Chain A
């Protein structure tokens, strides 16, 4: 069965860095666009990044452009999000998800999420 498991969240000071990972299993990871979506406490969903199956196409939300970097390792079935210059407003649960239709918003499987807290 398809599984996505995020890790790497935690408490970090403003201006700091964190690297999130998402381990995928149960499907051919290298066939799919993957995405990161976050949800601030008590708030709605915010899409933040897409990476194509080959890593050739990458998109970012304006709110994280220039600070976050998405990458993947198809040999290890893993997705990553390098987060630099973190701000208090980046505090959220971060989900990885699979998009089965390319970059369309068709997120058919989600991980359980990992909490990132940015605070001094």
Chain B
């Protein structure tokens, strides 16, 4: 099954704002909600954003999500060293009857 398209890497300095994109198609992002996951090194993924732009309790408001058409974005403002992690987008694909994940973006805080 195909994946959603994310840049493999992103970087920023402390305090900066970075965005990570996720591109799909009409059968997944275009017609279903997008979810974002954060994976710290050596740990299981954690839900970061649900239903395109909602934050679970405990997730700082520095993290925000958006969706437009067949693309979505995750923005992290006020970058901190502890944000260094892998970030994955996900969406249900109605044509494939499958959840698709993006390939993941490794965020480096310089």
List residues of A whose CB falls within 8 A of some B CB. 35, 44-47, 50, 59, 61-63, 95, 101, 103-108, 110-113
Contact = CB atoms under 8 A, between A and B. Distances in A.
Classify the interface of chain B: helix, strand, loop or mixed: strand
B99 interface: yes
Contact of B1 (A50, A62, A104, A110): A62
Interface of B: 1, 3, 32-33, 35, 37, 39, 44-47, 50-51, 56, 86, 88, 90-92, 97-104
A45 B92 contact: no
Instruction: Determine which residue in B1, B3, B88 has the highest number of CB atoms from chain A within 10 A of its CB, and name it.
Output: B1
Contact of B50 (A63, A106, A110): A106
Contacts of A103: 92, 99
Given A44-B102, A47-B101, A105-B99, A110 B33 contact: no
Nearest to A44: B104
Nearest to A95: B44
A44 B90 contact: no
A39 B52 CA distance: 23
Contacts of A95: 44-45
B47 A46 contact: no
B32 A107 contact: no
Instruction: Determine which residue in A101, A103, A105, A106 has the highest number of CB atoms from chain B within 10 A of its CB, and name it.
Output: A105
A16 to B, nearest CB: 24
